[in-house]
Amino acid sequence: MKNRLKVLRAERDWSQADLAGRLDVSRQAINAIETGKHDPSLGLAFKIARLFETPIETIFLEDEA
Amino acid sequence: MKTASTSPAERRYALFLTMVHLGAAATLLLIATLAFDLPSFVDGLPLGMLLVAIGVIMVRKLRDDYVEQLWKAGTASAFVAVIICFLVAPLTYGVLDDLIGSGVAWREYGIPVQLPAAVALIGFYAGFYWRLLAGGQEA
């Protein structure tokens, strides 16, 4: 699954550690999500959407078949 | 210079990973005690280390979303390792023994009691580290 997390984070000038702190996850978790190595749980995806005040589907994009 | 991580999530991640490394080291020591005739005081050392390491990594509060994924990779791998070693391998041996006829039953090999635990632990750490390194994170 692709995502726009890095773009949204950069727009706010947050580091991975800043974002991790706001979401109460490790920096490694943010790194893994941004690089597409880890798909977040639904709970974390909602938390991310709430933090960026944007719908989930505009952050996480389904891979085209 | 690398600054010290201070957020609670970072501390939990660091503690979890430290305990995983401790458990992996203890597992290697456990295998060494099974393979070699080491002094008796060494036998208890890996078990003590494993008790501490596994006790800590079982605490679910230490796992964030990403660590949970590593945990699942480890447990799935441990399950497969146990199935292969204690179901598939004896079954295959039994079939082959029937064909070749060595006359030695699987149970007569005297499998050490620590072996199932060692296989499960090796499977867990193999799956965990594979996922960790495949994710490009520092171990």
Each residue's pLDDT tens digit, B75-116? 999 999 999 988 888 888 788 777 777 667 766 766 777 788
Size of interface A-B (CB pairs under 8 A): 57
- Please say whether the beta carbons of A40 and A48 come within 8 A: yes
Percent of chain A surpassing pLDDT 90: 82
Q: Which pLDDT score, from 0 to 100, does residue B22 have?
A: 95
A37 contacts chain B (CB < 8 A): yes
Specify the 3-state DSSP secondary structure of A61: strand
Average of per-residue pLDDT values in chain A: 92
Region of residue B13 (left: phi > 0; alpha: psi -120 to 50; beta: else): alpha
Which chain A residues touch B66 with a CB distance below 8 Å?
25-26, 28-29, 32-33, 38
Which chain A residues touch B9 with a CB distance below 8 Å?
20-21, 24-26, 29
- Which amino acid appears at position B121 of this protein? L
- Give the closest of B10, B65, B136 to A27, CB-based: B10
Chosen from A22, A28, A42 to mutate, greatest number of chain B CBs within 10 A: A28
Two structure tokens written together for A9 = 């984070």
| pLDDT greater than 60 at residue B138 | no
Q: Give the HSE-up count for residue B18: Cα atoms under 13 Å, Cβ half-sphere.
A: 9
Two structure tokens written together for A6 = 């890095």
Q: Is the ipTM of this complex over 0.85?
A: no
Alpha-carbon distance of A28 to B14, in angstroms, equals 10
Domain count, chain A: 1
Q: Which pLDDT score, from 0 to 100, does residue B7 have?
A: 86
Alpha-carbon distance of B6 to B27, in angstroms, equals 30
> Cβ separation of B136 and A37 shorter than 8 Å?
yes
Nearest CA in chain A to B137: A28
Alpha-carbon distance of B61 to A50, in angstroms, equals 22
User: Can you tell me the mean pLDDT for B51-74?
Assistant: 89
- What range does the domain containing A18 cover? 2-61
Alpha-carbon distance of B71 to A53, in angstroms, equals 30
Q: Per this entry, what is the length of chain A?
A: 65
> Cβ separation of A44 and B65 shorter than 8 Å?
yes
> Cβ separation of A32 and B137 shorter than 8 Å?
yes
Nearest-CA distance from A64 to chain B in Å? 22
Domain CATH number, residue A15 = 1.10.260.40
Percent of chain B surpassing pLDDT 70: 86
Average of per-residue pLDDT values in chain B: 84
Task: Note the pLDDT tens digit of each residue in B27-50.
Answer: 898 888 888 887 877 778 888 898
Q: Give the HSE-up count for residue B112: Cα atoms under 13 Å, Cβ half-sphere.
A: 10
User: Can you tell me the mean pLDDT for A48-59?
Assistant: 94
Q: Which pLDDT score, from 0 to 100, does residue A65 have?
A: 55
Q: Which pLDDT score, from 0 to 100, does residue B1 have?
A: 46
Q: What is the separation of C-alpha B85 from the centre of its chain, rounded to a whole number of angstroms?
A: 14
Highest mean pLDDT among A8-12, A36-40, B112-116, B135-139: A8-12
- Give the closest of A17, A21, A29 to B65, CB-based: A29
Residue in the structure block whose two tokens are 């605490």: B59
Domain range summary for chain B, segments of one domain joined by +:
8-134
Q: How confident is the model at residue B127 (pLDDT cuts 50, 70, 90)?
A: very high
Q: Which pLDDT score, from 0 to 100, does residue B67 have?
A: 92
